[in-house]
Amino acid sequence: MSKSNKPYDLEDRTLLFAKDVIEFVGKVPRNLANNEIAKQLIRSAGSVGANYIEANEALSKKDFLMRVKISRKEAKESCYWIKLLTVPASLASNQEAMLQEGMELVKILSSIIEKSNPKPGSTK
């Protein structure tokens, strides 16, 4: 996906990430290790968006922050599983694109967390 085609809405972007991961995993060669890694990757990639949606429906700021932190954790985990997959050279660029998007989501979610945390000494 090119930068210009990336959705600005983070719920849409995390959904697209999960769909792209599922499509990518469908192309990965099947073996014992890849099968187990693929299951974990699909779970964590889907959880990024699911937890972000939960954050947007949070009942408090504390709940919001916890959900966004979980979403970031799942994005980091997705990157880990993407790196572990063994893929042929023909899928290496797809793997790199999945990893890049996962890392961008981590950065976006980290920024949200940083901006949502009260600064030391502030009255918020």
Report the domain count for the chain: 1
Question: For 83-112, how does the pLDDT look when each residue is reduced to its tens digit (9 = 90+)?
Answer: 999 999 999 999 999 999 999 999 999 999
Say how many residues make up the chain: 124
Instruction: State pTM to two decimals.
Output: 0.88
pLDDT tops 70 at residue 122: no
Owning domain of residue 45 = 8-116
For residue 116, with 0-12 CB atoms within 10 Å meaning exposed, 13-18 middle and 19 or more buried, which class applies? middle
Residue 82 lies in a domain: yes
Structural Rg of the chain based on CA atoms? 16
Residue 45 lies in a domain: yes
Question: For 43-79, how does the pLDDT look when each residue is reduced to its tens digit (9 = 90+)?
Answer: 999 999 999 999 999 999 999 999 999 999 999 999 9
Residue 112 lies in a domain: yes
Residue 16 lies in a domain: yes
What CATH number did the domain enclosing 54 receive?
A: 1.20.1440.60
